Structure 1
Amino acid sequence: MFYLAAAVSDFYIPASEMPQHKIQSSSGPLQLSMKMVPKILSPLVKDWAPKAYVISFKLETDPSILVDRARKALETYNHQAVVANVLDTRRSCVTIVTRDSQIDLRLSDEEAARGMELEEKIVNYLQDCHAHFISQ
């Protein structure tokens, strides 16, 4: 099983393009040009571990596109599951999307008060999915 943590960012500034000294405001407005972070999901699924159970993450700020974007990722990369969440509610609610299903996992107020983390529910659910995958 590969449980791929969400990327910190989809973009970065290469070290070779980073300024060595403070950027002076007297130079005028700042313009940034960023590069795309290389995607590893495709080679992981196709080449490196084609028989593995692969889980990716999808974070959005617009709840109305969340599940569609997760399904698109499943189609694009042909992996097994996407943990999809919305930035504002990422610590209390996620939707796990697979080819055949989607399930919402929520942390209740009582669970949060006891100090439970949503991650525990995610991992428990995905362990069950992985066990089913292996049995196939």
Structure 2
Amino acid sequence: MVMVVFNIGLLCESLGELANRIVDLFPMIHSLNVLSFLIRLTFKAVAEGSLLKLPFSTIYEYLQMLRLIAEALKDVGPCSMFYLAAAVSDFYVPWKSMTEHKIESGSGPLDIRLAQVPKMLSVLRSNWAPKAFCISFKLETDSKILMEKATKALRKYKVHAVVANELSTRKEEVVVVSSSGNVVVRRECDKPESFVEDNLIRLIVDRHSTYIKESHN
């Protein structure tokens, strides 16, 4: 049996260190299980020529997978792309706050204090896969602040593009925000079975291809 003890209360010198500590909260034996699970799924997908889907239940599992995948793709460099379509969670229950046994219903009202999940984009871009092509998304319900927040995210996290979408119109149009300008992408209304993602993916693939060529020059 391997037992690994993590002190979550340690102060972190940087966001990268904080993110790495949160990822490392999993006991080592679970990390090995996750890696083994990923390898089995990968071989199966390659053999069948199918899409590799990686299910997860907790923020810890997601961060483990993201880190393993990103670091595995480091050697691929600009040929890899991260298409981060949604925030997995804004808040989580820290490992040290989780109870080991069943919470008794007769113990009175239950108060849960959630901690904010650190933004992983900065760590992904600077540490885990610095040369990969990275697309993030920004969803808002208020169109007045959408473009401003998308532009701020582009500069703050240094991603290659941010897909800005408003909740009420996200299935009809989105705006791809990048350093080269903003591009409005719309669904083809004359085609009932079309999706806005059809044109969005074509644009992203074209941008990624250009990025690969420029990186190799």
TM over 0.5: yes
Partner residue of 1:110? 190
Selected match of 1:71 from 148, 151, 166: 151
Q: Which runs of 5+ in 1 are unaligned?
A: none
Give the 3 Å change call, closer, same or farther, for CA 81–32 of structure 1 in structure 2: same
Higher relative contact order at CA 8 Å, sep ≥6: structure 1 or structure 2? 1
Give the 3 Å change call, closer, same or farther, for CA 14–91 of structure 1 in structure 2: farther
Secondary structure of the structure 2 residue equivalent to 1:89: coil
Cα deviation, 1:63-107, whole Å, max 9, x if unaligned, reads 111111111011111110001101111111100000121011111
Distance 2:135 2:152 in 1: 14
Distance 1:132 1:7 in 2: 27
1:37-52 to 2 correspondences below 5 Å:
37-52=117-132
Cα deviation, 1:1-25, whole Å, max 9, x if unaligned, reads 111121144223457458x56989x
Distance 2:177 2:105 in 1: 43
**Higher fraction of helix:** 2
**Higher fraction of strand:** 1
Instruction: Give how far 1:38 is off.
Output: 2.7
Instruction: Give how far 1:108 is off.
Output: 3.5
Partner residue of 2:163? 83
Paired residues in the alignment total 131
1:88-103 to 2 correspondences below 5 Å:
88-103=168-183
Selected match of 1:120 from 188, 194, 198: 198
